[in-house]
């Protein structure tokens, strides 16, 4: 069996719990992401999603376990892994354009100034930012615009893996919708591998090829890998009409509502925990798809 | 008044306050009695002489006009124009200050980046910082054996602390998010320092620089009174010894004006590096 593009193996993270003991956030977590895939990880707040993402980004070291990308173990941050943070993390003293050229320059140090600027402008335009706006400082932009800049900055660098930590968490629903559409549009034109965190089910279904479901902590684990069997290109209104939409959505709601809690706190006794693949496809076997995955997961 | 902006109204009020202040000052100085009106007793006590009293503002303004119309004349060691004296003081302040900045800012960077360096150096800073800069003067004179360099040293030692502490504080307080941006873009330590940490900490650093230049200007006057020779501090002291109170008041005002100009320059710098999060 060939290793996936990104493989996470036996990842364990513990923290001191503040009372002399240790808090195990997750233990022996493992999963893979294929090249070009859009994978979303869904789980309740505090289950360790950001911790996983920081480890993937190389910004944090796991207590044990390895992350391998393209066969090499991840150690430290790299331009190959771009990050879009929840709070945008734009540099407030630079203009919008400079925030992007700053990144492009780091990625392509041999380029001329004009090349760097053109490239940055192109990506800003892709997220709908052009004209005077790009000379404004981030503090003069709305939250949605700032997140657009942050997305442009990440995409402009053509990372092998793009990591997004609840990128739309702080935005109002309307803005979130528009930027999700933009993200889909940009992503559609690239072979970009994306790993994204969210706690919004509809966002996950709209964007993902595959959703990883995480149980609550402590001892959280990636319990299921749910394929999103809705063909692309997708639109917010289009997906609702697809026969698989409600089946998938119900499955996710049910997981987050009850099973994420039931499955919480189970130790793995050192056995590597890989997520169970769940495929719900009403277009082929209408009856079985509805029930089967739920039963399988409970018996697990 | 209604049609004027806030600034214009404030300016009018300022001028009014100035005029009232000067008038009260002028009127509160008793006119010298003419010699013919003196009593026998007054004449015996010598009270009829031109007495060294507080001069009225009109006299100070006349002095200011005289001095400022020829600020750079040089008529021997005890008689130089106000421009030359201030020039000496500014030269000393800027030299000592620049040396202090050259050490304080890199060292502050180091302390801010490294918790170990911070903990190790903190006790020294805490002991050295509250020492009055003038207390160093005897030691400086003894070791350096040169009054000019000693004055510069005193400026150096008093300017270093606010810059050092503010730089360390600003650097230590740079948001981890921005450092993470540098890390995910694989910036080396130097590029990170110059393109992320320095601009992020610049407002705090420049605030420290502004406090330092203010202290340096306060201290130079006292230092020059001690070391003598040249400078605005020496000038004040010299005119006091000459009992020329008009010159004393004029030079006091000049000290204020130069101090204000130095502060304003750093105010401009502060606005230039400011950013809104
Ligand atoms: N530096 C840390 N020290 C101690 N506990 C931490 C630290 N970082 C995260 N945690 C704990 O780890 C758990 C997972 O956090 P996080 O990954 O931020 O969750 P999520 O992103 O899923 O909301 C939480 O319970 C949090 O309190
Ligand atoms: Mg989080």
Instruction: Parse chain B into domains and list their residue ranges.
Output: 87-228
pLDDT tens, N- to C-terminus, chain B (277 residues): 567 899 999 999 999 999 999 999 988 887 655 555 666 666 666 555 555 578 888 889 999 999 898 888 888 877 888 999 999 999 999 999 999 999 999 999 999 999 999 999 999 999 999 999 989 999 999 999 998 999 999 999 999 999 999 999 999 999 999 999 999 999 999 999 999 999 999 999 999 999 999 999 999 999 999 888 899 999 999 999 888 899 999 999 999 999 999 999 999 999 999 999 8
CB B232 within 8 A of CB B255: yes
Of residues B27, B178, B209, the one with CA closest to residue A94: B178
Bin A184: left if φ > 0, else alpha if -120 < ψ < 50, else beta: alpha
pLDDT at A289 (0 to 100) = 45
pLDDT at B208 (0 to 100) = 97
Shortest distance, CA B174 to any CA of chain A (angstroms): 11
Which residues are near ligand 2, the ion (C-beta closer than 5 Å)? A 50
Fold of domain B87-228: MetI-like fold (1.10.3720)
Which two tokens mark B55? 């001069």
Q: What is the pLDDT of residues A201-240, one digit of tens each?
A: 999 999 999 999 999 878 888 889 999 999 988 888 889 9
pLDDT at B114 (0 to 100) = 92
pLDDT at B47 (0 to 100) = 56
Strands of the sheet with A6-16, listed across from one edge: A22-33, A6-16, A64-69, A72-73
A226 and chain B in contact, CB less than 8 A: no
Distance CA B93, CA A267 (A): 68
Enter the pTM of the model: 0.86
Distance CA B162, CA B237 (A): 28
Q: What is the pLDDT of residues B72-126, one digit of tens each?
A: 888 887 788 899 999 999 999 999 999 999 999 999 999 999 999 999 999 999 9
Ligand nearest to the CA of A41: 1
Residue A264 pLDDT class (50, 70, 90 cuts) = confident
Provide, rounded to the nearest whole percent, the portion of chain A with pLDDT above 90. Answer: 58
Ligand nearest to the CA of A23: 1
Of A58, A83, A92, the CB nearest to B275: A92
pLDDT at B51 (0 to 100) = 54
Residue that the structure tokens 């917010």 belong to? A236
Q: CA gyration radius for chain A?
A: 20
Ligand 1 pocket, residue A47 CB under 6 Å: yes
Which two tokens mark B157? 């030692």
Mutate to test the interface with A, among B185, B186, B204, B205 (most CBs of A within 10 A): B185
Show the beta-strand stretches assigned E in chain A: 6-16, 22-33, 38-42, 64-69, 72-73, 81-84, 161-165, 193-198, 210-214, 222-227, 276-279
Residue A295 pLDDT class (50, 70, 90 cuts) = very low
Q: What is the pLDDT of residues A56-111, one digit of tens each?
A: 999 999 999 999 999 899 999 999 999 998 888 999 999 999 999 999 999 999 99
Which two tokens mark A192? 């970009």
Residue that the structure tokens 């190790």 belong to? B120
Q: Is the pLDDT of residue A300 over 60?
A: no
What spacing in Å lies between the alpha carbon of A45 and ligand 1's midpoint?
9
Homologous superfamily, domain A6-80+159-296: P-loop containing nucleotide triphosphate hydrolases (3.40.50.300)
* Chain A residue nearest residue B191, CA to CA: A106
Q: What is the pLDDT of residues A240-250, one digit of tens each?
A: 999 999 999 99
pLDDT at B199 (0 to 100) = 97
pLDDT at A282 (0 to 100) = 80
Residue A297 pLDDT class (50, 70, 90 cuts) = very low
Distance CA B135, CA B154 (A): 9
Pocket test for ligand 1, best of A12, A14, A20, A23 (most atoms within 8 A of CB): A23
Q: What is the pLDDT of residues A139-183, one digit of tens each?
A: 999 989 999 999 999 999 999 999 999 998 888 888 888 889 888
């Amino acid at each position: 069996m060939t290793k996936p593009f990104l493989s996470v193996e036996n990842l364990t993270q513990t923290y001191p719990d503040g009372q002399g003991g240790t808090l195990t956030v997750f233990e022996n977590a493992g999963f893979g992401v294929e090249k070009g895939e859009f994978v979303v990880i869904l789980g309740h707040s505090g289950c360790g999603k950001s911790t996983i993402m920081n480890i993937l980004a190389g910004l944090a070291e796991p207590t044990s376990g390895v992350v391998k990308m393209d066969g090499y173990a991840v150690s430290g941050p790299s331009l190959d892994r771009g990050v879009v943070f929840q709070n945008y993390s734009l540099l407030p003293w630079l203009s919008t354009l400079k925030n992007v050229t700053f990144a492009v320059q780091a990625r392509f140090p041999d380029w001329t100034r004009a090349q760097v600027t053109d490239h940055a402008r192109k990506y800003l335009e892709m997220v709908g930012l052009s004209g005077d706006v790009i000379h404004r400082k981030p503090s003069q932009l709305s939250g949605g615009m700032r997140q657009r800049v942050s997305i442009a900055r990440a995409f402009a660098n053509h990372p092998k893996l793009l990591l997004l930590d609840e990128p739309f968490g702080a935005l109002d629903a309307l803005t979130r919708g528009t930027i999700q559409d933009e993200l889909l549009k940009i992503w559609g034109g690239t072979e970009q591998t994306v790993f994204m965190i969210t706690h919004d089910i509809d966002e996950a279904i709209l964007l993902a090829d595959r959703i990883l479901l995480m149980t609550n902590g402590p001892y959280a684990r990636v319990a299921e890998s749910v394929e999103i069997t809705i063909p692309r290109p997708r639109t917010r209104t289009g997906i609702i009409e697809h026969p698989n939409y409600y089946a998938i959505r119900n499955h996710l709601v049910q997981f987050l509502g009850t099973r994420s809690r039931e499955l919480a706190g189970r130790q793995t006794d050192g056995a590597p925990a890989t997520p169970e693949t769940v495929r719900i496809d009403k277009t082929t076997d209408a009856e079985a798809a509805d029930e089967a995955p739920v039963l399988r997961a409970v018996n697990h | 008044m209604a049609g004027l902006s806030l600034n214009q109204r404030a300016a009018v009020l300022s001028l009014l306050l100035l005029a009232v202040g000067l008038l009260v000052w002028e009127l509160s100085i008793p006119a010298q009695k003419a010699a013919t009106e003196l009593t026998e007793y007054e004449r015996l006590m010598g009270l009829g002489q031109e007495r060294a009293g507080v001069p009225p503002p009109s006299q100070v303004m006349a002095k200011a006009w005289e001095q400022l119309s020829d600020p750079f004349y040089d008529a021997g060691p005890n008689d130089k124009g106000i421009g030359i004296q201030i020039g000496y003081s500014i030269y000393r302040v800027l030299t000592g200050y620049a040396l202090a900045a050259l050490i304080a800012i890199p060292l502050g960077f180091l302390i801010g980046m490294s918790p170990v360096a911070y903990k190790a150096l903190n006790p020294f800073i805490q002991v050295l910082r509250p020492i009055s800069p003038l207390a160093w003067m005897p030691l400086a004179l003894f070791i350096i054996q040169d009054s000019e360099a000693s004055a510069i040293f005193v400026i150096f030692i008093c300017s270093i602390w606010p810059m050092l502490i503010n730089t360390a504080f600003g650097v230590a307080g740079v948001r981890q998010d921005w450092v993470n941006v540098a890390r995910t873009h694989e910036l080396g330590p130097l590029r990170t320092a110059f393109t992320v940490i320095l601009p992020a900490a610049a407002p705090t650093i420049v605030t420290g620089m502004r406090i330092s230049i203010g202290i340096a200007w306060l201290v130079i006057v006292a230092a020059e009174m001690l070391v003598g020779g040249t400078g605005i501090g020496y000038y004040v002291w010299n005119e006091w010894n000459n009992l020329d109170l008009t010159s004393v008041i004029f030079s006091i005002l000049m000290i204020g004006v130069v101090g204000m100009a130095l502060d304003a320059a750093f105010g401009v710098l502060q606005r230039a590096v400011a950013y809104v999060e």
